[in-house]
Amino acid sequence: MSRQAITLTTDFGMGSPYVAEMKGVILSVCPEIVIVDISHQIAPQDVRQAALILDQAAWRFPDGTIHVCVVDPGVGTERRIVFVQLDRQSFIAPDNGVLSRVMKRGELRRAWEVTRQDLWQHPVSNTFHGRDIMAPVAARVATGQPLERLGPATDRLTMLDWPEPEVRGAEIRGQVLTVDSFGNLITNIGRDLLDRLGSSAAISVRCAGHTIRGVVRTYGHRAPGTLVALIGSSGLLEIAVVQDNAARRLQVTSGAVVTVS
């Protein structure tokens, strides 16, 4: 039988012991598990950024992987913790919308409120449910704990609004969804939508007062320093500066308007 994997996505940063505390708890329950970090550099309390990064990485993992996502500004309050089983992957997270991107893409099988305290790590702190609830529950599920035992089933899950691009005739009006570690601006405009506008050479992309003519296949097809538009590795329109940082050059961040015509 192949080993199972648990991934971790948090806003804990790299300098704190919190990530390692979660890993210790997981390994104590389930020493055979593979633990993979998705990111611990989510901006503090930035549920939207975590939702996007989780959705980008999760689907690459083996079927049956359990993704633990701890961006949890409401920790210790009445907010629920949920375990959500989509068609190929499972997720445990606070019910604050952090799963609302993966739920747009994956098909929901079932979901549970995580309430059964005998599966938790005691004493439970009021400020670190990632360590005391989510990590041990994920590890117990990985060792075969039936999902029905986690708590009551639920079909009410918090969904955030995600801006959709608007199409008006021959123009698409979208926005920058996120900025990656290279400073590339990743928009919410997908390849399919772009294809409707016809040939990529005839397209022009506008953002922050700049106009880019044509969509290139990849960065290396233009000289270093050139502002380009292309379809990035997630199938989304991306604005980049070849071998440089577009976010810095254009002074742009998430939410900036991007128009394609």
75-114 residues in contact with a copy of itself (CB under 8 A) are 75-77, 79
* Binding flag, residue 17, a copy of itself (CB under 8 A): yes
Among 117, 211, 243, 253, binds a copy of itself (CB under 8 A): 243
CB of 33 to a copy of itself, least distance (A): 9
CB of 169 to a copy of itself, least distance (A): 29
Among 203, 230, 246, 250, binds a copy of itself (CB under 8 A): 230
Specify which residues 206 forms β-bridges with.
211, 259
Q: Are 91 and 69 in contact (CB under 8 A)?
A: yes
Nearest to 8 by CA among 134, 181, 122: 134
What ranges make up the beta strands (E) of 87-197?
A: 90-94, 108-113, 166-168, 171-179, 185-190
Site for a copy of itself in 135-174 (CB under 8 A): none
Q: Count CB neighbours of 29 within 10 A.
A: 19
* Binding flag, residue 177, a copy of itself (CB under 8 A): no
Site for a copy of itself in 37-56 (CB under 8 A): 37-42, 44-45, 53-54, 56
In terms of CB distance, is 89 or 175 closer to a copy of itself?
A: 89
In terms of CB distance, is 59 or 162 closer to a copy of itself?
A: 59
Specify which residues 68 forms β-bridges with.
8, 92
Which region among 102-110, 120-128, 147-155, 200-208 touches a copy of itself (by CB under 8 A)? 120-128
Site for a copy of itself in 180-219 (CB under 8 A): 180-182, 217-219
Compute the distance between CA of residue 219 and CA of residue 230 in angstroms, rounded to an integer: 8
Compute the distance between CA of residue 181 and CA of residue 41 in angstroms, rounded to an integer: 11
Among 6, 35, 177, 189, binds a copy of itself (CB under 8 A): 35
Specify which residues 75 forms β-bridges with.
none
Buried b (16+ CB within 10 A) or exposed e, 87-107: eebbbbbbbbbbbbbbbeebe
Which region among 57-65, 103-111, 141-149, 154-162 touches a copy of itself (by CB under 8 A)? 57-65
Q: Count CB neighbours of 35 within 10 A.
A: 18
Q: Does residue 152 have a cis bond before it (omega within 30 degrees)?
A: no
Number of residues lying near a copy of itself (CB under 8 A): 71
